[in-house]
Structures are given as C-alpha cells and as structure tokens.
Chains A and B, each alone.
Chain A
Amino acid sequence: MIDSLHGILHGLMIAAQPINLLYTLVGVFIGTMISHLPGIGPSAGIALLIPITFGMNPTTALIMLAGIYYGCMYGGAVTAILINTPGDAAAVMTTLDGYPLARQGRAGAALSIAAVSSFIAGTLGVTALTFIAVPVAQLALRFGPTEYFALMVFALSTVSALTGDSLAKGLLSTSLGLAISTIGLDLQSGRSRFTMGIVDLQQGVSFLVVVVGIFALAEVARMAEGTLEGTMHSVRIKGRIWFTRQDWKEAFPAILRGWAVGFFCGAAPGLGGTISAMLSYVTEKHLSKTPEKFGRGAIEGVAGPEAAVNADTCGAFVHLLALGIPASGSTAVIMGAFIMYGIQPGPLLFQNQPDLVWGLIASMYVGNVMLLVLNLPLVGLFARVLYAPPGVLLVMILGIASVGVYSFETNPFMLYMALMFGVVGHFFRKLDIPKAPLIFGIILGGKIEQSLRQAMTISSGDAMVFLKSPLSASLLCLAAGMVALSFWAKRKSAATLQQAQEQARAQPVH
C-alpha cells in the first residue's frame, strides 16, 4: 500500500513533465479521433502509430500509446450513439440505448452521460490498478517457468474459448499465432526454423508487420467494401450536450456497478471490453425496475456499459504490467510495443523500470481528466471526423500503414509481409475468425516455448512437473475447465437456437 503510494507520487512527477503531458494529450486526442473513424479500432490505431514513436523516450512513447488505447475506449460511444455503429467492438452495447436516445432528440444527454461514466469508471479503475498491481507483481515474482507456462496456457485457452462464436476458430487463430512465433532462429539451439531459406525471416516475423496487416490493412478492405456499398453514412448532433438531474440519479449506481464488472473482466485474461459491457448491460436490465425501457433509450443502458468498458482497460493493465501477459487484443499490441522498445513487461518491471511503470499509471489519471475536458465541450467538434469522406480516409490509412511499416526496418520485404497479413486479416473477417487470439499467440509464443523448455530442463524431462506445482496444476485445470465450459455453452446455445426455431415453426400463423 505504502509502496504503491510512493510509486504513484513518483509517477505523478514523471507524468507532469511537459513532454509527457504533451504526449498524453496527443495520445488521448488521437485515440478519441480514431474511435470516431468507423472501423478503425484501438488495435489498428496503436499499430499504425507505433512507428511514429520509435525516436521517442520509451516512457513517453508508451504514455502516448496507452493514451490512444483508453482514449479510443472513451470515444467509442460517440459513433454508437450518433450512427448506431460502435466506434470499437466494446461499444456495441451502447448502441442499444444510446441510439434510441439520440433518435428521441437526447443525443446530448447520452453523450454527456457516456463521457462522465467513462471518467468516473476510468479514474476509479486507475486507482484500483495503482493499489492492486504491486501485490500481483510481488506474487508473480514467486513464479518459476512451470507456473509461467501454466499461466500463459490459461491466458491462451481463455482467449481462444471466449473470443468469437466458435471455439474451433479461436483455437485455430491461437495456433496460427503460436506457429508464426516459431518462425526464425531458435533462441536455445541457434538453428533456424521454418524460414524457407528467406534471410529476412531469420529474425522472425515482425510483430508490427502482422498487427498492421491484420488490423489496419484488413480494415481498409472493409472500408473499401463499405464505400462501394454506400453504407458509410454520417449524421449530425442536435441539441444541448448535458444530462438532467433525473438522468444522473438513474445513471450513478449503474456507473459504480459497471466499474466493478468492468475492472473484474479486464483483470481476467481474454474476457475483454465487449464481454464486460455485455455483463454490465445484462446486470442493469436485471436490476432495473423498468426493464422494458432497455433497448428503447434507458440512460442506465448507456452509463453501465460505458463505465464497464473504461474500467476494463484499467483491469487489463494489471495483467500487462504485473504479469507480462496481455488481457485483450489491444493490450497485446501495447505489449508488442513494450517488447519492441526492449522492455519486458512483468513483475520485474516495477523494480527495474519504476519511472516507466509509475509514470504510465499516473499518466492515466491525467489522461482521464484530459478526456473529460476534451470530450464534454468538444464532442461536437470531434464528431466532425465522422463526416470525413471514407474514400479519402481509407487511402490515407493505406499511406500511413505503408510508410510506417517500411520505416520499421527500411526493408521492402516488410511491406510484402504486411500486405500478405492484410489479405489474411481480410479472410479472418470474412470467415469470422477472431484476430485477438492470433496476436496473443505471436506475443506469448516465444515466452511459452521458453518456459516449457526451461521447466522440462529443470525437471530432467519429467512432464509431471506441471502437475506437481499446485499453482501450475490449478491453472492448467482452470484452462481445461474454461475450454470445456465454452464448448458446453456454445453447444447449449446452438441447441437453444434450434429449440426456439422449432417453437417458432410450431406457433400457429394468425
């Protein structure tokens, strides 16, 4: 507790340095703008901007990238409320009541309650992160390779099982990510693996190339389709941007509940913002005295999920900073950025890089205040991004992605690889294969293999070592349980669907 207090006070001094304040502002501003661009989510936004941070001090760069992430989550509600399209996947629940409120002429109330909910939940979330991260990191310091291997297996199985509608596709995406991570030189034997004689692959497949291809270039293809179909239309805000006292009375308890649900979901690997928003929405509807209002413009239906999404981002940082394991696709991209700067997130980060870790956490307090100040009076101005011609936007994204990827190693091979992954990302979207598990696989592949091999070397090749450690055995059991639960739940939902369809057929037609 005292350590955390000292840490955060030290962090506030770092975050208050003019350069860090400037880049926090730049990050949250860009994040808010990105969230207003249809289709470009936080992962693609962060991936596109990683190359721009290469010359920077890592602390400043990570402060900016984190700012983009939570700025994006903050602003995702705007498109959800105004055009019934979530700015990021997590804002999907906000469309259910936000858009009906906007259609009733209460867009201002919905937007302002979303901003205030995000601020309260974000600030409470960072406070929880401040005090939870250090004890979690201290616990993780006791982990050996056996426990780390089990923890990573648990993270991968959770993300495979819970992302997307199909367990098989989640597993496929994870396996593909792990397979990509095995390309290049084997660190222990020095032998090259699966390089097909291509010298550029000796160092492995660059994480940045995969992320830009899978997220940004594939999204360009989606935008191109939208432009051709003529489905990318924009709307304008009308009315005052503030909420009534009654709105506040209804929203405040929902914000607190949303924060609790969101932070818990964020701290559990694989659950992510979308699930936390869904859980919060379901909770609010269940607890409401007027559940019939949900889906028709209930203010709690905006406040709860928005609070959950923003608290989720803070929960996800507990995992990333204290354990070195991402909790969502976006934190996986941020973790990739850490590694590219030569910093290994994990329990030792608090000992080895206190300036960076505490500066980053403290910048989130500052960033949340900046977001509130920026969003409330300027939401109308930000929403003008929605009116940018999609045709121009997609071309500019292609331009930024190309020069960004080239600048990484000034090697045209990187560009070909990014294009190839762009095509792969397009097929992933068409075939409903989740992208986050692939990124998890790539990020954790090297670490998981290293932990496995270290654990087996220590145990002289005895595979039972993973079951002899109680923590490792529990985590592996949890991983298996998570997969089994997902298998059962998805089977049950298919059976329920069939039953509903049969019932619908049996109903007499009036």
Chain B
Amino acid sequence: MADWVLSVFVVTGALIYLRAAMNLERLQVGDALGPQVFPAIVAICMLCSGLMLAWETWRKQMISEHAAPPAPKPGEAAAHPAAGHRQHLVLVAMVAWTALYYVAFEPVGYILSTMIYLSALLFYFHRVNPLINLFYAAAFTTVAYLLFTNFLQVVLPSGIVQL
C-alpha cells in the first residue's frame, strides 16, 4: 500500500516539477539548452521512476497473491499495533520538539535552549536519576559551546543569556 501511495506521490511531484521547469524563462542569449532543459529531463526520469514503481508494486502484488504468506522468522514476534502507534507519536513529538528548539535557537540563545532541549529528551529516553541527565545536558552544552566559539571561532547566539 505504501508503495502505491509513493508512486502516486512521485508521479504528481514529477508533473508539478516538469511544469515548473517548462515555465522557466527561456533566454534569447546564452547556451543552446537554457536553464529549463536539464530540469525537464530530470522530471521525466522522476516520472519514469514513479511509473516503474507502480509497475513493480503491481507485480509484487501479483506474485504475493499466488504465493503462500511468508512464515515468520524464528523468535520474531508480531509487532503490537499499540507499540507501533506509540513509536509514531514519539517520533512526531521529537520532530515537533526539535522544530521548537530550532525556532528558539537564536532568540533564546544556544546555551539555554540547548540545555532545555537536551534535558527534556534525556528525561524521556534515558530514565535514570534526573540529576544525572541534567549533568549530561549541561556538560554537552558547555563543551560544544567552548569548542565552537573558542576553537572553531563560530559565533553561537547568546540570546537572553549574555556571557
């Protein structure tokens, strides 16, 4: 099912990209091809890959319809749907939390935003004494800050914490 959705997505994306490529302004002067030909070739390749994927998926489906379902590997337990759902939720939350960190990166400053960001993740993924996690977050932030600002001469945002 996922591959069917992917192939539709790819074909649609390729058509949009092809249209955008064809809409690029052709110049009167310059090289023989201009800026739109190469993207158009790439769009056609992408379109072909989408169609080929649909064909491959259809073929796999035909084979699996005629074949016996594969036996589970020894020791392999079926994933519990609730566990899979929880995993998805955690990953979505991680992406949202990381996006929030990136938004806060400059206004709040590297040190404070990074410490809060890392501490929260550590509390979830490394469930030991919270003080240990706080120590890890503070140590990482300090070492990275010193490394980048002093050794690599990168200016990291100080934000609301002025050092």
A binding-site residues for B, Cβ under 8 Å? 51-52, 54-55, 166-169, 171-172, 174-176, 178-179, 182, 186, 188-189, 191, 193-194, 221, 224-225, 227-229, 389-392, 394-396, 398-400, 402-403, 406-407, 410, 412, 415-416, 419, 422-423, 426, 430-431, 448-449, 452-454, 456-457, 460-461, 494, 497-498, 501-502, 504-505
Contacts and interface: CB of A to CB of B under 8 A. Distances in A.
B102 A412 contact: yes
B155 A412 contact: no
Given A169-B53, A498-B66, A502-B67, A224 B27 contact: no
A450 to B, nearest CB: 9
23 contacts: A54-B152, A55-B152, A166-B56, A168-B7, A168-B52, A176-B46, A178-B45, A191-B27, A193-B35, A224-B90, A228-B86, A228-B90, A395-B121, A395-B122, A399-B117, A400-B144, A403-B144, A448-B38, A452-B33, A452-B38, A457-B31, A497-B67, A498-B63
Nearest to A394: B125
Contacts of B48: 171
Contacts of B95: 419, 422-423
A189 B125 contact: no
Nearest to B127: A391
B132 to A, nearest CB: 9
Interface string B14-53: 1001001000110100111111011100110110111011
Given A191-B25, A457-B31, A498-B66, A419 B102 contact: yes
Bin the interface of chain B by size: 35 or more
Most buried by B among A168, A191, A431, A461: A168
B32 A461 contact: yes
A247 to B, nearest CB: 30
Given A168-B52, A398-B118, 13 more contacts: A166-B53, A166-B56, A176-B46, A191-B25, A395-B125, A402-B102, A402-B105, A403-B114, A406-B105, A406-B156, A410-B155, A457-B32, A461-B33
A175 B46 contact: yes
B151 A399 contact: no
A396 B67 CA distance: 46
B10 A172 contact: yes
Interface of B: 2-3, 6-7, 10, 14, 17, 20, 24-25, 27, 30-35, 37-39, 42-43, 45-46, 48-50, 52-53, 55-56, 59-60, 63, 66-68, 83, 86-87, 90-91, 94-95, 98-99, 101-103, 105-106, 110, 114, 117-118, 121-122, 124-127, 136-137, 140-141, 144, 147-148, 151-156
B36 to A, nearest CB: 8
B39 A182 contact: yes
Nearest to B106: A412
A481 B151 CA distance: 51
A158 B28 CA distance: 36
B6 to A, nearest CB: 6
In order of increasing CB-CB distance, the 10 nearest A-B pairs are: A391-B125, A391-B126, A168-B53, A168-B52, A175-B46, A501-B67, A172-B49, A171-B49, A461-B32, A415-B102
